[in-house]
Structure 1
Amino acid sequence: MSSVAERLQKKAKRPSGTKQVRLKLVYIDFWSVVKLAFLISVAIGIITVVATFLIWAILNQTGIFDDLDALLRDILGDSNFSIQDTFNVGQIMLFSIVVAILNVVVGTVLGAIIAVLYNLSVRITGGLLVGFTNN
């Protein structure tokens, strides 16, 4: 048993050299980029909707809308004007959802366009040089 332990101890003392590998990225799979762009766009869309609701709720709870209503009533001279009636939570959330859906569509299309442009530019530039080490 001691001979096995001695061999393992000798192997552990040897310094391992770091190896560096340089590779060229010469092709990006189109559908992988489209799927990744779609997932990132959906995540950003969800963040947009949640952030919009939180901002509206904070502004409503702090009374900013009431102060803004009073200011606009003084400026416009209309005693029936209310910004909360004009921009209620339903309208704000609907607008936020529409923006999120457009963001998903545009983000996915942009990801596809970037993948195609990169794959076309590789023919001219030769690709992107990427280095890896085994640290």
Structure 2
Amino acid sequence: MSSVAEKLQRKAPRQAGTKQVRLKLVYVDFWSVVKISFLVAVCAGIVLVVAAVLVWIVLQSTHVFDSIDSLLRDVLGNNEFTVMEMFGLGQVALFAIIIAALNVVVGTALGAISALLYNLIARVTGGILVGFTNS
């Protein structure tokens, strides 16, 4: 006599059918898009500030600013002006923070506008058809 486990081992495994789902994206929640676009813009702003400071540090450590100062002295003959007076770490960081803050405002506004436009267009066209498969 054979056991149930042996009978199950002898059976060929069935092929599981792939399931397909087709969904229509007809509405995007406005506040969700605003929150996500705000968070993405904040992350991009942080990256911008850190990148600007790191680029300034690399340029300072490789003495690029000193080379520019010597070039300006040779060309203009002015010994009083230095690049570091105009582009110090504080000025560069403050400028990067201001640009990052403006990017957060603009990025959030663009996310809100895109959500509104998509919802209006989806009412007219019926939305986007998205297909998913289970493989």
Matched with 1:35 is: 35
The runs of 4+ residues in structure 1 deviating greater than 6 Å are none
Q: How far apart are residue 3 of structure 1 and its match?
A: 2.3
> Please, which runs of 5 or more residues in structure 1 have no aligned partner?
none
SS at match of 1:13: coil
String of CA shifts for 1:57-104, please: whole Å, max 9, x gaps. 000000100000000111111111100112100001000000001111
SS at match of 2:81: coil
Flag the structure with higher helix content: 1
- Percent identical among aligned pairs is 58
Matched with 1:82 is: 82
RMSD of the alignment, in Å?
1.6
Query: Does residue 57 of structure 2 align to residue 57 of structure 1?
Result: yes
Counterpart of 2:125, as a letter, is: T
SS at match of 1:23: strand
> Please, which runs of 5 or more residues in structure 2 have no aligned partner?
none
Query: Does residue 126 of structure 2 align to residue 132 of structure 1?
Result: no
Output the CA distance in 2 between the equivalents of 1:19 and 1:27.
24
Output the CA distance in 1 between the equivalents of 2:104 and 2:115.
17
Output the CA distance in 2 between the equivalents of 1:76 and 1:109.
45
Output the CA distance in 2 between the equivalents of 1:72 and 1:88.
17
Output the CA distance in 1 between the equivalents of 2:27 and 2:9.
43
